[in-house]
Amino acid sequence: MPAKKGNAPVIPQGKNTVLNEEKTALTAKVSGEISFQNDVFRVASRLTIPGSVDGSVGNLDFAGDILVMDDICRGFTVHAGGNVIVYGMVENASVTAGEDIEIRKGMNGSGGGFLKAGGNVSSLFLEHVRVTANGNVSSETIINSNITCGGSVLALSGRGTIIGGNISASKSVEARKIGTPSNNETRITIGQAVQEEKNTEHLSAELEEAVKTLEKIRLNYRYLTEQPSVPENKKEIFNILSEQKALYEKKVKDLNEQIDKMLRAKPNYSKCRVKSDIIYGVTEISLNHSHLIIKDTKEHCNIYYKDAELVLGTF
């Protein structure tokens, strides 16, 4: 008996999924969190943790954004390709983001906490924390922390206080108060040279690895080219080595050009500033080879670079 033509099955295609031409498989359109809701598969580019990052959740490594509704507990690691947003607090933990990090209730790293962002870092407070950011670092209070950023360090809202630690910013450091009346030493470094030096070190390390890889590729490539003829089963390997050799030769050339350009570039310090309503002693400020030590309390400070020296002005 000939069968009746059946109905096509319902395909459980949801947000950020793609159906192949044969209509036999769904593929994720973006990297993210997969879920099955209302009879369809969805892929969300944000991973939401409804509670804290603790022993019940474990360490996180996610390609998109990570949203933590509570705290990130001591000893845990969170890595996101996008943004990390924490509604609670961050304890002695490590948080890395390809873009921004936002901590709504602040972070006390107890000397071991670490934040690293490809963009900006903002937190209610930062205490005993190491921070590295390509953009700005903003917080109401920064206490005994080591901060390095490619933009500015800003403590302008709330208490607006920077106390102790080492603050390095390529552009400016701005706060309501810097230091304490009890002479808690604070060290501040401004200037593009700070960031450029670190970038040069990073590129030099990358160049060293690329040169080592290129030498290995050349060695294998040379071995095959010295043969009377490339065996049939080695031709695919030979083609791959040829492509890799060209790729790494270009990479080594580009890295050398980047490093050379950075070393020859003349830094521009005209926009570098340290501004604060009050600066207490002892606060040490450095730019290039110039140093300025504030030993007594100063008000309405605007410190800038002029004629190869740091100048203490007012606003």
The model's pLDDT over 86-138, given as tens digits with 9 standing for 90+, comes to 999 999 999 999 899 999 999 999 988 999 998 999 999 999 999 999 999 99
Rounded CA separation 304/315 (Å):
12
Report residue 33's pLDDT band, with 50, 70 and 90 as the boundaries.
confident
**pLDDT at residue 154, as a whole number:** 98
Structure-derived torsion over alpha carbons of residues 187, 192, 197, 202, reported in degrees to the nearest 10: 110
Yes or no: say if 287 and 310 are a contact pair by the CB < 8 Å rule: yes
The model's pLDDT over 159-188, given as tens digits with 9 standing for 90+, comes to 999 999 999 999 999 999 999 988 789 999
